[in-house]
Amino acid sequence: MQTHDSWTTLGSAISLKEELLQNGSLKEILLSEKRILLSFVDEQFGAIDARCNHMGAPLVKGKVKNSGVECPWHYWQFDLKNGKSLNNSFQPLASCGGAVASYPLKIENGDLFIQLEAPIERIKPTYNPGPAVGREPQRSPGKIRVLGLSTTAMDKNHPRFSTSENLLKSTLQALQTEGQVETQFLALSDLNFRACEGFYSKSEKACTWPCSITKMDPQDQMVQVYEALVHWADVVLVGTPIRWGAASSLYYKMAERLNAVQNQITLRDRVLIKNKVAAFVITGGQDNIQAVAGQMLTFFGELGFTSPPFPFVAHSLGWSSEDMERNTDYVRQSSGLHEQTVALAKRSIQLSQQLLGSETLKSL
């Protein structure tokens, strides 16, 4: 390569055109320590920064769409000639991608030249302003905070009786009546949030905190779960039905999106969940309680939660006694189950007090 008056030759324009067309119209080149994405689309060359504005994904592995390139990790799109963000259905915020740097090109005497000294500068991206959830976790003073988290799936317009949800609500009511703690109830069925889209499967760095879906989609209500688990709650009581020997589908949908929390440990040795307690309420018409409890204990433990002795309350009629009408009546009327769930909550609160420490508690 040669440089003439701030212009650097990249070689024969015809040869580069043929090479690009044979390789998906994109090529990454390294010039003066700058990674540049060279393209040939719509009979025009383009040169932009080779890394996505968001998390630095290699755009050369992306897809050419119309006059732009789509990031292989999170689908952000950039114009291949000027580097500007291209709005699409995945990005409700029209300008969230900002702009990556772009570089002037010219063809002279059959050679393609690039000017590196005067790029159109990168414009930093903007995100959904909602996820202040990404702030550093810091417990504010106050009473022990207990969250009841229901993972039962149901139609919002036609709600049904949920045994696990009933136990959660009655326990929170009992705790609230005593007045020693703050309580909050959160039902996943009331929230509208997208399933995990497997960014981690592309690159561990593509799984971000906050989740990239939350950062780019103002309608993503998974932010309420993040806010409650990472920032608000000291104790989390998670309720689930048993569905074919496993926790509910909504539980797993939530769990996959919580990979954004756990992955901070992998990437940055950053633990977002500290000194928090998780316990579980598991009910169903079929058995497999221990397997469901085992999965939940393992998963929440990997997030950073601690569990109390005897960490779950469970109820099942068993495989051969699947009488769901009788099952719901039994749970509704069982003083024993309700008392056991309150006792579980109190064990969890006691453990939370120990984890927070005596000095912290004096200020509560």
Amino acid at 339: E
Which one, of 335, 332, 312, lies nearest residue 324 by Cα?
A: 332
Where in the chain are all domains bearing CATH 3.40.50.360? 132-362
- pLDDT the model gives residue 323: 64
- pLDDT the model gives residue 362: 43
- pLDDT the model gives residue 278: 98
* Average pLDDT across the chain, whole number: 88
CATH architecture of 132-362: 3-Layer(aba) Sandwich (3.40)
Does residue 167 contact residue 281 with C-beta atoms inside 8 Å?
yes
- pLDDT the model gives residue 364: 40
- pLDDT the model gives residue 6: 81
Where in the chain are all domains bearing CATH 2.102.10.10? 3-115
Distance CA 172, CA 267 (A): 36
Distance CA 126, CA 143 (A): 36
- pLDDT the model gives residue 119: 66
Rounded to 5 degrees, φ, ψ at 48 are -135, 170
- pLDDT the model gives residue 206: 87
Does residue 225 contact residue 186 with C-beta atoms inside 8 Å?
yes
The band of 2, judged by pLDDT with boundaries at 50, 70 and 90, is low
Amino acid at 22: Q
Greater model confidence, 328 or 84? 84
Amino acid at 230: V
Q: Where are the beta strands (DSSP E) in the chain?
A: 3-4, 7-12, 26-31, 34-41, 44-49, 63-65, 68-70, 77-79, 105-108, 111-115, 144-150, 181-187, 235-241, 277-284, 312-316
- What are the pLDDT digits (tens) for 295-312? 999 999 999 999 999 999
- pLDDT the model gives residue 94: 46
The band of 359, judged by pLDDT with boundaries at 50, 70 and 90, is very low
Q: Where are the beta strands (DSSP E) in 205-333?
A: 235-241, 277-284, 312-316
> Mean of the pLDDT values across residues 281-296?
90
CATH architecture of 3-115: 3-layer Sandwich (2.102)
Which one, of 254, 234, 251, 253, lies nearest residue 243 by Cα?
A: 251
